[in-house]
Amino acid sequence: MELIDLRKHNSWVASFDQISCVEVVEVNCVNSLSPQILISRFVGKMSLDSSCDHYIINVSAMEGKFSRKFKSGRHAHTNAAKSSLNMITRTLGATLASQRIYINSVDTGWITDEKPFQDTVSAALKGFSTPIDECDAMSRIVDPIFVGINSGVNNFGKFFKDYKVSSW
């Protein structure tokens, strides 16, 4: 069952000073702290087997990129958390690759409408849907793994957008 945020004004549209400390901590735990802890545990196990390639994919977003020319001033907490996740990928890339562990960040594409619930329902009733579904998003996430397995070309420490390496 998916939880639905029924607030009329959520953190996606709130100004920076309107976002609760609890939500800031939660977003950072989910998007940065937890992945960092999981990676540190997985790397120890993965490095025990040097007979095959291993892959870590961090699910990121365009909001975590520094090269974007425009930032709206909204959802800075999610931008910061995804930027942190991307920095983990970029920092660990070369070191882990030397152990045949290939870490990358992947943007899933636009699969959820983060606006307040009543706005998303209203848009859906008018025929709007996000351009990418969950199956396409999952394909994007696993693509660097399949490219590595099928071609032997293992990218690492990169950010992928639309199946291609993109700038940070």
Domains of the chain: 16-67+74-166 (3.40.50.720)
Average pLDDT over residues 141-146: 98
Closest Cα to residue 106, out of 74, 148, 73, 75? 148
H-assigned helices in the chain: 21-28, 34-46, 76-97, 117-125, 134-151
- As a whole number of angstroms, the distance between CA 14 and CA 167 comes to 28
Whether the per-residue pLDDT at 165 is higher than 90: the answer is yes
pLDDT digits (tens, 9 = 90+) for 126-136: 886 778 889 99
Identify the DSSP state of 92: H
Closest Cα to residue 61, out of 159, 164, 128? 159
pLDDT digits (tens, 9 = 90+) for 20-76: 999 999 999 999 999 999 999 999 999 999 999 999 999 999 988 888 777 777 778
pTM of the predicted model as reported, rounded to 2 decimal places: 0.87
What number of other Cβ atoms are within 10 A of residue 93's Cβ? 19
The CB-side HSE value for 21 (13 A sphere, CA atoms) comes to 0
- Contact between residue 42 and residue 56 where contact means Cβ atoms under 8 Å apart: yes
